[in-house]
């Protein structure tokens, strides 16, 4: 029960918030609002899945927002100015992102540098490269960008599950399987628990670290592709600050900042909570959009306090167990 407690709290917060919104706004409880909630937060959900792996392993990735921005500019230049097929451009940018993430993971592992510093450098590198390519917003006029929104699964009540929303759901499903049902996922948890213990257990620390940051950057690149569909443009200032929203979603979802504990499903609910706050503000019409940040900050603080309380409780119980054994 203790293991699932943070995720249960996160889920309860979302359900209570949704019920309150539905009671205040009768049209809120509809498939249209739910579908829009998934579509509007798809890019955040995709990148948050990768961040979940990073934080559970005991690391952090501050480069994801800049990678999203870089991806949008790369796609705009490749598709519009070079005439490359969108699908080929998508494949190319994912390969670039994979190489970028692997390089950061290798530097973290083999130079024994803090992930915070390495990914901060990665953030400046990706954002700077974006500005070198273009400082202007570049529109993307490829037919795919106008046709893709037309493909959707119609839901009862006028709702539509868009391709973008389905991509996010598929990424979350992939993340759940990878983290909770594979050896790689077990190694991620082991790494976050203790790198020394993980090494003694036979975990290949270097390989797992590189794969974790590769996965994070690839999902950030995929998020950038999805983000480009929102705006139909590439802009070097896209997704500024998204790395902080991503970390907040993961922590609100119950993942321990110190590493070793967390669930992909919790991150999914954490993303939905942020989207729920924004939807409430839009329905209200009188509140500033900045209340989204304030509410997210309050929730983030509350969940960090909850995490510390749980860690403290676990330590006290462990000490009592050791005391009983010794006596």
Q: What is the pLDDT of residues 111-143, one digit of tens each?
A: 999 999 999 999 999 999 999 999 999 999 999
Q: ∠ CA(10), CA(16), CA(17), 5° rounding? A: 90
C-beta separation of 148 from 90 below 8 A: no
Domain that holds residue 270: 5-326
C-alpha pair distances (Å), 215 with each of 33, 188, 206, 208: 31, 12, 14, 10
User: Structural domain tally of the chain?
Assistant: 1
Please provide the size of the chain in residues.
327
List, in order, residues 6 or more apart from 243 with CB less than 8 Å away. 61, 62, 63, 64, 65, 66, 123
| Coil, strand or helix at 270 | helix
pTM for this entry: 0.94
Average pLDDT over all residues of the chain: 92
142: domain CATH number? 1.10.3470
Residue 233's DSSP bridge partners are 139
C-alpha to C-alpha distance for 191 and 297, rounded to whole angstroms: 28
Structure tokens at 170: 């598929």
Q: ∠ CA(35), CA(240), CA(176), 5° rounding? A: 45
Q: What is the pLDDT of residues 189-228, one digit of tens each?
A: 999 999 999 999 999 999 999 999 999 999 999 999 999 9
pLDDT along the chain (327 residues), means of 10: 81 94 90 93 97 97 98 97 96 98 97 96 98 95 89 88 96 98 97 93 96 98 97 95 95 92 96 94 83 87 82 69 56
Give the model's pLDDT for residue 1. 44
C-beta separation of 221 from 97 below 8 A: yes
């Amino acid at each position: 029960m203790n293991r699932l407690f943070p995720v249960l709290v996160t889920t309860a917060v979302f359900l209570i918030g949704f019920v309150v919104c539905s009671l205040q706004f009768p049209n809120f409880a509809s498939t249209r609002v739910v579908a829009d909630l998934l579509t509007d937060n798809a890019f955040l959900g995709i990148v948050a899945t990768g961040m979940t792996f990073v934080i559970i392993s005991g690391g952090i990735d501050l480069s994801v927002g800049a990678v999203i921005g870089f991806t949008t500019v790369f796609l705009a230049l490749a598709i519009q100015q070079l005439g490359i097929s969108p699908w080929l451009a998508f494949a190319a940018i994912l390969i670039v992102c994979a190489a970028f993430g692997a390089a950061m993971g290798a530097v973290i592992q083999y130079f024994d540098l803090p992930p915070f510093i390495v990914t901060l450098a990665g953030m400046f590198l990706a954002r700077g490269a974006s500005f070198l390519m273009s400082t202007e917003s570049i529109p993307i006029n490829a037919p795919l960008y106008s046709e893709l929104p037309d493909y959707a699964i119609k839901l009862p009540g006028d709702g539509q599950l868009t391709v973008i929303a389905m991509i996010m759901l598929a990424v979350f499903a992939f993340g759940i399987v990878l983290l909770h049902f594979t050896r790689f996922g077990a190694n991620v948890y082991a790494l976050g628990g203790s790198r020394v213990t993980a090494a003694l257990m036979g975990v290949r620390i270097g390989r797992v670290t590189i794969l974790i940051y590769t996965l994070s950057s690839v999902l950030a690149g995929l998020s950038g592709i999805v983000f480009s569909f929102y705006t139909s443009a590439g802009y070097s200032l896209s997704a500024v600050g998204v790395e902080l929203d991503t970390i907040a979603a993961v922590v609100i979802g119950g993942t321990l900042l110190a590493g070793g504990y967390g669930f992909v499903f919790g991150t999914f609910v954490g993303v939905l909570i942020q989207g729920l706050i924004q939807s409430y503000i839009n329905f209200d019409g009188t509140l500033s959009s900045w209340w989204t940040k304030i509410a997210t900050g309050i929730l983030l603080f509350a969940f960090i306090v909850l995490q510390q309380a749980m860690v403290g409780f676990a330590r006290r119980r462990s000490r009592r167990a050791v005391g009983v054994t010794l006596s």
